[in-house]
Amino acid sequence: MHQYKRSSELFTEANKYIPGGVNSPVRAFKSVGGTPVFIKKAKGSILTDVDGNEYIDYISSWGPMILGHAYPKVIDAIKAKVEDSTSFGAPTELEIEIAKLIVDMVPNINKVRMVNSGTEACMSAIRVARGYTGRNKFIKFEGCYHGHADSFLIKAGSGASTFGVPNSPGVTPGTANDTLTAKYNNIEDVKQLAAENKGEIAAVIVEAIAGNMGCVLPKKGFLEDLRELCDKEGILLIFDEVMSGFRLGKGGAQEYFGVKADLVTFGKVIGGGMPVGAYAGPDEIMKVVSPVGPVYQAGTLSGNPIAMIAGLTLLKELNENPHYFTELADKTEYLHKGLDKVLSESGFAYKINRCGSMISVFFTDIDVIDFETAATANNDKFPKFFHEMLKRGIYLPPSSFESYFLSNSLTYEMLDKTIQAAKDSLEAMK
Ligand code: PLP
């Protein structure tokens, strides 16, 4: 049985100095209860906490660690680079190298701007879309997450579908007025918003595969219909590929689904575990970005050399070894089949959604196709399953609304161990 003595002490101490003891809310275990585990180090797919417990990691730092923790080439590259100083605030050759590689790997883009997080990438892409189209409003989908910028923290208002409502204090009603919210996988909703706000919508931003209400796949034709509608209405289609980018494959969701986006945003894998994001598009749109165009966007640490070398090394590795993507998808499919078997034997209601290496288990009997259906799985089963798995050395995302992120450092032995742990956990939950 795992002991969490030191983690408990640290959580008490952390709460004295850090809001809720954490620097990002989901880490606090609020939706599963209990005390968060404090991590000391990680290698490959194994996390070690401050009490010396080991876990098989299904978070992969929420995505970046696609080839595993402390990947030797990335660590060596960082070590070598850090000797040359940690930041210049002036251009470097490295920034050209990573931009060139991204443009090579991702379809339909020829300019990339590096920023420091996925939030910044999405926030900036919206600004660019507004600057380019001269329009103010944009459409997002309920259950999709694009970071914590004000204009994304909006939920659909009840009644008049055209007015959004802030879902965090500190976001003004004025901001909310410009964010329209549609149901994921519901093109009719989007069409209605477009009709009610004709000529006013700059962009539709979408997680082409949603990962922030658990993993939810686009229905057949949904992305194509969005593309068609955007073309008809002069709206820019933004794919938020912060999760899916460099995970589904080299070219992300655009390549995977064969649907072109006008702007794409990245985060997570692109920084190899360092704080990085990026937005990208064709010259025609990106020419509005400062200093070429009037849309201002900047960053003291943007293109930071340590972050760039980490990202570049990881992306190069993926670009040169595309079989990693297939191997990872195969491993995820293996996990999917194993979990499917033990869950069906357990008698619990469940659904599993998977796309490539993104996978979620939902404790519900309803097909999960949008936020409303995902919310049916937000019940007491998931916290129990989470803690039973944690006890057995399996570290799952601590929320029923998060996807698992697998890394290619997982071995089939680890996957078998995970499936067995799931079987035992489900048994213990009865
Ligand atoms: N977009 C998506 C799809 C995300 O999953 C996230 C974070 O999880 C973000 C944007 C925000 O990225 P960051 O946390 O790096 O600001």
Give me the DSSP letters along 98-142: HHHHHHHHSTT--EEEEESSHHHHHHHHHHHHHHHHT--EEEEET
Residue 395: strand pairing partners: 57
Q: Are 276 and 253 in contact (CB under 8 A)?
A: no
Tell me if residue 268 is catalytic.
yes
CA atoms within 13 A on the CB side of 159: 2
Find out whether 117 and 299 touch, Cβ atoms under 8 Å: no
Candidates 57, 51, 46; CA nearest to 35 is 51
Tell me if 155 sits within 8 A of 143, measured CB to CB: no
Active-site annotation holds for 240 = yes
Pocket test for ligand 1, best of 115, 119, 405 (most atoms within 8 A of CB): 119
Nearest to 419 by CA among 398, 404, 430: 404
Peptide bond into 291 cis (omega under 30): yes
pTM score: 0.97
Question: 141 in ligand 1 pocket by Cβ < 6 Å?
Answer: no
Which token pair is 128? 């660019």
What tokens appear for 234 in the block?
């002069």
- Measured from the CB, is residue 117 less than 6 Å from ligand 1? yes
Question: Tens-of-pLDDT digits for all 430 residues of the chain?
Answer: 678 999 999 999 999 999 999 999 999 999 899 999 999 999 999 999 999 999 999 999 999 999 999 999 999 999 999 999 999 999 999 999 999 999 999 999 999 999 999 999 999 999 999 999 999 999 999 999 999 999 999 987 665 445 678 889 999 999 999 999 999 999 999 999 999 999 999 999 999 999 999 999 999 999 999 999 999 999 999 999 999 999 999 999 999 999 999 999 999 999 999 999 999 999 999 999 999 999 999 999 999 999 999 999 999 999 999 999 999 999 999 999 999 999 999 999 999 999 999 999 999 999 999 999 999 998 899 999 999 999 999 999 999 899 999 999 999 999 999 999 999 999 999 9
Domains of the chain: 5-70+322-429 (3.90.1150.10), 72-320 (3.40.640.10)
Ligand 1 geometric centre to CA of 346 (Å): 34
Residue 237, ligand 1, Cβ within 6 A:
no
Distances (CA, A) of 115 to 27, 96, 150, 192, 281: 23, 14, 18, 34, 14
Tokens at 56, concatenated: 């098989």
**Residue 165: helix, strand or coil by DSSP?**
strand
ipTM of the complex model: 0.99
Q: Say if residues 69 and 44 touch (Cβ distance below 8 Å).
A: yes
Q: Cα separation of 214 and 231, whole Å?
A: 29
Rg (CA), the chain: 21
